[in-house]
Amino acid sequence: MPSTPANGITLEYQTFGDPDARPLLLLRGLGTQLIQWDPALCARIAETGHFLVIFDNRDVGLSTHFPEAAPPSIAEILAARQGGKLPDVPYTLADMAGDVIGLMDALGLESAHIAGISMGGMIVQQTALQFPERVRSMTSIMSSTSDPALPGPTPEAQAALVEPAPREREAYLEYSVRTGRAFTGKGLKKGFAYDAEKQRALAGRVYDRAFDPDGIARQMAAVIASGSRAEALSSLTVPSLVIHGADDPLIPLAAGQATADAIPGAQFLAIEGMGHDLPPGAWTPIVEAIAAHTERAS
């Protein structure tokens, strides 16, 4: 996979489809790598008229990591925010939005459609706010405005979110299967059920490619330190689509609805049976919705 300088760091990326098609950058969530996109899903997105670009966010995968920055204290960051102070963190979502634009510059894209899941949805929201002239459309999936008044995760999903990742490989694989199950939805119909064997195999690839729990902690610090975008999103003019799983235990459906409500003219799609994951059974409505959205915006 190629890499490129972008926004003062290096980003590892991969592309799918015709470079002359509608450009779409697709961002992953907290602590996850580009190899965690299913290649079959990427191919389907590209086949609907997109030049698809996926990449490792900073501090994960083969993009630039920040080992010189000690893992931040989440408790101290929360206390600073509650006290009205700007927390001291290595970077924020605004910096990660700059990474998106830096990658677009490196690829020669004056503008592009952007979409992201979970933390990636937060980054694309921030990108659209900071650089509206560079964004053709924005799609936020299983994400949130980060408004603290919104409902939080289920107890099981919260426990999985804060559980430290084991350093030993076999323990990490078991941890990934366990936490992945906590994040998935309750849908039992074909294509929605949790695939523990697939999760375990993918976790092994993730561990072997780039294992850095400290980087994940720095990403989480960036999310918390960046605060709510709810008020800012009310002035967003970029064509926006919000997609959310109706059974998301980590970022509840109410957070997706609140995101759509905050953005003037935003479209909203709730998918029954989908949790905080992208099961194959949900691919068709998601791919079709994104394709229709980017085509309208183009």
Beta partners for residue 282, in sequence order:
none
At residue 74 the predicted structure's pLDDT band, cuts being 50, 70 and 90, is: confident
Q: Which residue type occupies 219?
A: Q
Check if the beta carbon of residue 290 is closer than 8 Å to that of residue 139.
yes
Annotated domain spans of the chain: 3-150+211-297
Interval 275-295 mean pLDDT: 97
pLDDT score of 80: 74
pLDDT digits 0-9 by tens, 204-216: 999 999 999 999 9
Is the Cβ–Cβ distance between 116 and 122 less than 8 Å?
A: yes
For residue 229, the SS3 value is coil
Backbone dihedral angles phi then psi of residue 50, each to the nearest 5 degrees = -120, 145
Q: What is the pTM of this model?
A: 0.96
Q: Which of 21-35, 122-136, 185-199 has the lowest mean pLDDT?
A: 185-199
CB 258 within 8 A of CB 150: yes
Exposure string (b/e) for 232-265, b if CB count within 10 Å is 16 or more? bbeebebbbbbbbbbbbbbbbbebbebbbebbee
Distances (CA, A) of 226 to 92, 268, 272: 6, 24, 30
> Which tokens hold the place of 60?
């994960």
Task: Say if residue 81's pLDDT is above 80.
Answer: no
- pLDDT tens digit sequence for 223-251: 999 999 999 999 999 999 999 999 999 99
| Cα Dmax for the chain | 49
What is the architecture of the domain spanning 3-150+211-297?
3-Layer(aba) Sandwich (3.40)
Place of tokens 């102070």: 85
Q: What angle do CA 120, 160, 142 make, to 5 degrees?
A: 30
- Provide mean pLDDT across the span 62-80: 86
Contacts of 64 (CB under 8 A, 6+ apart): 9, 10, 11, 58
Place of tokens 């893992």: 71
Model confidence band, residue 79 (pLDDT cutoffs 50, 70, 90): confident
Give all strands (DSSP E) within the chain, no chain letters: 3-6, 9-16, 22-27, 50-55, 112-117, 135-141, 240-245, 267-271
The interaxial angle of helices 196-209 and 169-183, nearest 10 deg, is: 130
Per residue in 153-163, pLDDT (tens digit) is: 999 999 999 89
Residue 84 banded pLDDT, cuts 50, 70, 90: confident
Residue 82 pLDDT greater than 80, yes or no: no
Which token pair is 288?
A: 């079709």
Phi/psi for 235 (5° steps) reads: -105, 5
Helices then strands (H, E): number in the chain?
A: 11, 8
Residue 11 pLDDT: 98
